Amino acid sequence: MSTPISLRETERKVFRAATNDGLTDVLLGCFFLMFVIAPFLSEYWGDFWSAAAFLPFYGLIWLGIHLARKHIIRPRIGSAEFGPSRKARLKSFTVVMLVLNVMAFVLGIFAFLNFADMPLSTYPIVLGVMLLTGFSLGGYFLDWPRLYLYGLLTAIAPLIGEWLWNEGLASHHGYPVVFGVTSGIMILTGLFIFARLLLAHPLPAEEA
């Protein structure tokens, strides 16, 4: 059976082909590693420095991904610049994510200084909702359906973590366990997509 031809679907296909290399999944997974390791470090360095210590790590991961895209991915799959509609969509996504991050930052300050005098159980719920919102927006704007799944995983992770902690089954609010599983899923998914891409696209011969 033939597939109907749709320029909108073609644009999505082209966008996915150019961007779906698995490395963003690895970057996201590495980001959530902070929730796994920082709780242990905070016992020695405090909350702020244990989180800040991850900045150089993220810098290295970002640099590695940038170099991998330049020297491994692009020679194999080529590159494309997107049209005005996709650029506008990406711009909207950036603005929305910026707003969401500012909200998360403000929430973090509230939690750190306990301004609002909210019960501690509120924070995992709010964190879960924000993560679900962020990933869902990513799934919508970037046309990557698996981001919805990541959103669900990261949204339920703090809640399950709290439950494990309350039951005495895990330390540090359960974050090392639940975010360890979440970041592991993201990193393994990313590496699988990356490896599949390398196998499917060996280095092409030079242009004719």
Partner 1 sequence: MSPSTNEPDLRPLADIDQVIHNPTRLMLLSYLYVVERADYVFLKNMSELSWGNLATHLNKLEESGYVEIEKSFKGKKPHSSVNLTPQGREAFRAYKKRMQQVLDDLPD
Of 2, 3, 5, 117, the one binding partner 1 (CB under 8 A) is: 5
- Identify which range of 13-21, 49-57, 117-125, 167-175 contacts partner 1 by CB under 8 A: 13-21
Amino acid identity at 183? S
Q: In sequence order, which residues have a C-beta less than 8 Å from that of residue 52 and are 6 or more positions away?
A: none
Which CB atom, from 113 or from 208, has the smaller least distance to partner 1? 208
Contact call for residue 18 and partner 1 (CB under 8 A): yes
**Which of 153, 155, 151, 154 is CA-nearest to residue 139?**
151
Give the number of other Cβ atoms within 10 Å of residue 203's Cβ: 9
Q: Which of residues 115-144 bind partner 1 (CB under 8 A)?
A: none
Which CB atom, from 11 or from 180, has the smaller least distance to partner 1? 11
Q: Which of residues 84-103 bind partner 1 (CB under 8 A)?
A: 84
In the complex, least distance from residue 203 CB atom to partner 1, rounded to whole angstroms: 10
Query: Can you tell me the distance from the alpha carbon of 165 to that of 177, in angstroms, rounded to the nearest whole number?
Result: 10
- Identify which range of 57-65, 82-90, 107-115, 121-129 contacts partner 1 by CB under 8 A: 82-90
CA dihedral 23, 25, 27, 28 (to 10 degrees): 170
